[in-house]
Structure 1
Amino acid sequence: MQEATASISSVSRRGLLRLSLGGTVMAAVPGLGWAATGAAAPAFTDGLPRSRPEAQGISSAAILAFLDDAERSAFELHGFMLWRNGHVVAEGWWDPYKAERRHMTHSLTKSVTVCAVGMAIADGKFGLDDKVVSFFPEHLPPVVSPNLAAMTVRDLLSMRTGHEAMVSGSVWRQIRTSWIAEFFKIPVVYTPGSKFVYTSAATYMLSAIVTKTTGQSVADYLKPRFFEPLGITGYEWDVGPEGISPGANGLSWKTVDSLKLGILHAQNGVWNGQQILSRDWVDSVHAPHTKDRYGYQWWLGPRGAYNADGLFGQYAVVFPEQNAVLALNSALPPKAGFNAGLLYKHFPAAFGDRMPPSDKANAALQARTRTLQLLPPVKASSSPVVANVSGQRYDFPENSEKIRSMRLDFSADDCTFTLDDERGTHKVRAGLRQPVEGDTTVTGNKLHHEYQPEVMRVVASGEWRDARTFVMTWTFVESAFRDTVVCRFAGPYLRFDRSVNVNSSATEMPTLTGTRAKA
């Protein structure tokens, strides 16, 4: 297969983009790549050329082995893209996740924030050895300890702030007052620069420093300098108190955007001939600044690899010696052992020299990536209690979840679940024959690492497990979270349970029991 760029020749009635190259018709298959149909070459909207793996020194069988191993190990993957030598060689998304969907990145955001830091330093806004206290005199405590006074930008970058314990973004997301003031309340127990403690508080302060010195949030500062040159659109980045991006988290973007972050670094800061990040800065972010395998907001892997790493398995992994990048979105429990157990087991070992094409292995890989599925199909089911419970309101006594009432309205094809709590009235529509996609405002912060967007995209389905037990699956497809909701009916009572696939704290809510409201 030739590697070149071609013009669009037609758009098929099925909506597949067709191009012509060297007499071979290629069709752009969503979530798959380019499949031969009889003419031409790839021009994806993300601007990245495609290639068969073997043409870039990777066997399709090696990629299949990685996917097989992930499945055997019960690692929940949502989407991946693999790039080498200027080409995307494999990609796939587990339905209902899709290429065009945003996905919450958690601490992968740190490696984006540090791009803004490098650019601001290059612009002369501040320096690595500037003292953190010098930027925010208005927020300093009455007494500034010698250790706090000594802390520098360099210490924030390398997570050697002198703090004794980490601060999670889940803690600060619940605070509505100044997070800068909160930072200065943290005791600086050790001499800055002497001890590594991974903490989102350090990255937040980097974001705050960028905003203080540039007058823009990190997201706004990066827009013309990073997002636009790389063709990254449709992203969202939360803003905290004082108009400051959280820095350590809060960025949602597509899988390909994580890939582009990695590609930019693999190419020493160059994108389409433009030096976006300085070569020196790229070198510094993956230099071993600590014995804990940490650079400047990037984790260091074996054999020269380094990765942007988000909680629950959001990755941009750079293999500079092999000119390759792997991007992944996942839902992995904390400390799941994914890196050592799977990621670095298969890569960079899979990368070699150009090899003969294998039509059989490539066809198997394409067939696999075309049919990736996260959950089994919905099983049609019914229950004799539907007539008695549908449309009934169930009231709940005072509880820790602040839930007041629930109602389930069943039709032949779906169930509309309605919940009233202290935030208002929320609905989730669950398909009974196939999943239904929609928006919801349902409260979920305690199970979702304290994230509570105003609106969440959800793909929901429901089945009767037995005559009195109705189970819904809510997949929040712009995040790692998938909730299982169990409603058990017994006479006038509804027993309600809710759990989640991954979380940094509790994965189950306490069981609640409601009583049918009197007519």
Structure 2
Amino acid sequence: MRDMNMTRRRAGQLVMGASAFVMLGGCALRPGRVSAAVPGVGPVQPDSYKDGLLRSTPEAQGVSSDAILAFLADVESAGLELHSFMLMRNRHVVAEGWWWPYSPGRIHMTHSLTKSVTAVAAGLAIDEGRFGFDDKVVSFFPEYVPADASENMRAMTVRNLLTMQCGHDVETSGSVWRPIDTPWAAEFFKIPVVHQPGTHFQYTSAASFMLSAIVSRTTGESMADYLTPRFFEPMGIDRWHWDSSPAGVSPGGNGLTWNTAASIKLGAVHADGGTWNGHRVLSEKWVREATTEQTPGDADGAYGYQWWMGPGKAYLALGLFSQMSIVFPEHNAVLALFSAIKGSKKIKPYIWKHFPAAFVADTLPADPGAVALQRRTAGLRLLPPLHPASLAAPAGISGKRLAVQTNDQGVEWLSFDFVGDRCTYRMRDAHGEHEITAGFGEYLEQDTSMTGNRLHHEYRPPSQRVVAGARWTSPQTLEMTWQFVETAFRDTLVCTFASDGVTVDRSVNLNSAEERLPTLMARID
């Protein structure tokens, strides 16, 4: 699904780092890492990404370090999984942290946080006169409109898409359309418009997709390309990538992957009324309307133009599994989070408990808590340490292809290669051969084509970044951890060996659908 529309640049030069890129004809191609022992595989490397943002101490910007520490403590006590956070006030980052192996330069899937970026494109296009709020949606795609289209469908406007009041009665998740290879605009007009547009709120990625499709139809380019000179480049957002739908339209409701700094910049330009570093990026009128209540919404809160409303005057971009950019406009502050939390209602109480209360004054005296906060954020870690293998692989297994019994995953065979302190797991299915090499003593970072769509909200990129480790939990049981570090997903493989074969159980830390695949059973011939 990747459209290779991602760049990694700094000071006009391509940055070659832990996920190296080669630029050819404007496209970014990602080769694997190189290690002397196993080509394409290596230990996790440090991150030296520079985001161009100003830094300050919390107290210098009137923020309580103790309040930030209390927020982190509450989240940890609740067992909630954060991958990163950045807190900005007065255009200065005052606190930040990444739970290893996540790091500043890594991109991370945003899910529906993408919708608020789609709103940026819609606002720019409307201000340029490409289309208007009251334009009928059917007018842009007459080739897809059914001959017997209902009056409700014909009445739907751009404004209805922006406010999630397009008249649909059910949500269309991105996971529904991702496996479809026909134009998604055609799929949109197959959805019944049960309610009169403008009278019923129904959150749905279908509405956001159609905004993207309208931007593409009226500008002649994908929304990702349209935004590049108008938003990504002026904002210094230099690490991103946006999936493409079958017709080349950027999925407006999801599909954007970028780093934490980009999320906080998205919030910051809105907090400052549409300006960035003294230059106007968005019109003040658009920002004001997009980030104030346009509809009461639903149980999750009121809604603007592809932005959720929070307590007080706060508003937020929100993605599945709790990807967030939260703006506190009265305090000129933004909090950005990447997470693996199923249900934002689990973390929101802790956010609203500590913010905006942490913004105490214009400035505060220096506080020892700032040192404690720096120490805390410097030692954040998600994956537990590994230890060299203390057990040997079962005899007669290493290097053998094991035929897999008929299964619903289409897996034909699998194999385990144990070399030194590493194990390479390979398997073949209808999409080809895939492999991941896991280290026993250290986590190994690599690109892989390992299929994971059923456990990963139906995403099936041709290549994705993974950090993999392994351990023996018993003489017969091998456990591998695959952290897909550009996503919220972490897969666990439990492989149980017997004299006549092996069983493989694969599960994921969270998903919108199934979280465990049926057991694979392979036999030694």
Q: Structure 2 length normalisation: TM-score?
A: 0.89
Please give the secondary structure, in 1, of the residue aligned with 2:247.
helix
Structure 1 residues 335 and 264: CA distance shift in structure 2, 3 A = closer
Distance of 2:169 and 2:430 partners within structure 1: 36
CA contact (8 A) 1:133 1:149 kept: yes
Tell me how far 1:357 sits from its aligned partner: 3.6
- TM-fit CA distance, 1:358: 3.7
- 1:268 is matched with which residue? 273
Is 1:330–2:335 an aligned residue pair? no
Structure 2 CA distance for aligned equivalents of residues 409 and 360 of structure 1: 51
By how many angstroms is 1:204 displaced? 0.3
* Mean Cα deviation higher: 478-487 or 410-419: 410-419
> Take 2:168 and 2:269, find their aligned partners in 1: how far apart are those partners?
32
**3-state DSSP class of the match of 1:458?**
strand
Check the 8 A contact 1:31/1:369 in 2, yes or no: no
Q: Displacement, 1:234?
A: 2.3
Other structure's SS at 2:396 match: helix
Aligned sequence identity (%): 55
Q: Post-superposition shift, 1:359?
A: 4.6
Alpha-carbon shift at residue 335 of structure 1 (Å): 5.3
Structure-1 residue corresponding to 2:313? 304
Work out whether 1:502 is the aligned partner of 2:507. no
Alignment root-mean-square deviation, CA: 1.3
Identify the match of residue 320 of structure 1 among 319, 329, 335. 329
1:354 and 1:324 mapped to 2: Cα distance? 12
Are residue 346 (structure 1) and residue 351 (structure 2) matched?
no
- Indicate the residue corresponding to 1:220 in structure 2: 225
* Residue number in structure 1 paired with 2:143: 138
- Residue 132 of structure 1 deviates from its aligned partner by 0.3
CA positional deviation for 1:352: 1.2
Map Cα deviations across residues 168-193 of structure 1 (whole Å, 9 max, x no partner): 00010010001111000000001001
Alignment counterpart, residue 126 of structure 2, candidates 121, 127, 152: 121
> 8 Å contact 1:31–1:93 — kept in the other structure?
no
CA contact (8 A) 2:340 2:488 kept: yes
Matched letter for residue 318 of structure 1 = V
Report if the CA contact (8 A) 1:334-1:504 is conserved. no
The amino acid that maps onto 1:115 is V
Q: Is the 8 A contact 2:60 2:366 kept in 1?
A: no
* Aligned with 1:49 (options 54, 70, 73): 54
Matched with 2:440 is 432
Encode CA deviations 1:9-57: one digit per residue, 9 max, x unaligned: xxxxxxxxxxxxxxxxxxxxx889xxxxxxxxxxx83221100000111
**3-state DSSP class of the match of 2:296?**
coil
What's 1:481 paired with?
Answer: 489
Higher deviation after alignment, 471-480 or 409-418: 409-418
Q: Deviations over 1:362-398 (max 9, x none)?
A: 1111111111000210133333443332222221122
Which ranges of structure 2 fall in alignment gaps of 5 or more residues? 1-45
Question: Match for 1:243 among 217, 224, 248?
Answer: 248
Q: Structure 1 residue 117: deviation in Å? A: 0.4
1:62-461 equivalent positions in 2, closer than 5 A: 62-292=67-297, 293-334=302-343, 336-339=345-348, 341-461=349-469
Give the SS at the match of 1:495. Answer: strand
Q: What does the per-residue CA deviation read over 1:79-102, in whole Å, with 9 as the maximum and x for residues that have no partner?
A: 111000120000110000000011
**Contact 2:440 2:470 (8 Å CA) reproduced:** yes
One-letter amino acid of the structure 2 residue matched with residue 319 of structure 1: F
Instruction: Give the secondary-structure state (helix, strand or coil) at the position aligned to 1:302.
Output: coil
**Is the 8 Å Cα contact of residues 383 and 468 (structure 1) preserved in structure 2?**
no
CA distance in 2, matches of 1:244, 1:355: 46
Structure 1: distance between partners of 2:395 and 2:87 = 51
Deviations 1:198-218 (A, max 9, x none): 000000000000000010111
Contact persistence 1:207–1:245 (CA under 8 A): yes
Preserved contact between residue 103 and residue 477 of structure 1 (Cα < 8 Å): yes
In the alignment, is the contact (CA less than 8 A) between 2:63 and 2:364 conserved in 1? no
Counterpart residue type for residue 331 of structure 2? Q
| Change over 3 Å in CA distance of 1:52–1:264 after alignment to 2 | same
Indicate if the aligned counterparts of 1:31 and 1:92 stay in contact, CA closer than 8 A.
no
- Distance in 2 between the 1:379 and 1:161 partners? 55
Q: Deviations over 1:344-367 (max 9, x none)?
A: 121111111044444521111111
Write the letter of the residue equivalent to 1:108.
L
**8 Å CA contact 2:389, 2:421 repeated in 1:** no
Please state whether the residue corresponding to 1:261 is helix, strand or coil. helix
What secondary structure is seen at the aligned counterpart in 2 of 1:487? strand
Q: Which has the higher contact order (CA 8 A, sep 6+)?
A: 2
Aligned residues of 2:388 and 2:421 also touching (Cα < 8 A): no
Q: Tell me, what secondary structure is at the counterpart of 1:388?
A: coil
For 2:402 and 2:519, the matched residues in 1 are separated by 14
SS in 2 for 1:71: helix
Note if contact 1:474-1:483 (Cα within 8 Å) is conserved in structure 2. yes
Q: Is the 8 A contact 2:393 2:418 kept in 1?
A: no
Q: Which runs of 5+ in 1 are unaligned?
A: 1-29, 33-43
Question: In 2, distance between residues paired with 1:492 and 1:335?
Answer: 45
Q: Deviations over 1:142-164 (max 9, x none)?
A: 21100001000000000001111
1:160 is matched by which residue type in structure 2? Q
Q: Rg: which structure is higher?
A: 1
Q: Verify the 8 A CA contact 2:59 2:367 in the aligned structure 1.
A: no
Contact between 2:322 and 2:344, CA under 8 Å: does it hold in 1? no
Q: In 2, are the aligned partners of 1:52 and 1:89 still within 8 Å (CA)? A: yes
CA contact (8 A) 1:156 1:203 kept: yes
- Supply the distance in 1 between the matched residues of 2:208 and 2:338 (Cα, whole angstroms): 22
Please state how far the C-alpha of 1:412 moved relative to its aligned partner. Answer: 2.2
CA shift for structure 1 position 276: 0.8
Q: Deviations over 1:226-262 (max 9, x none)?
A: 0110011121001112110011111111100000000
Distance 2:440 2:220 in 1: 51
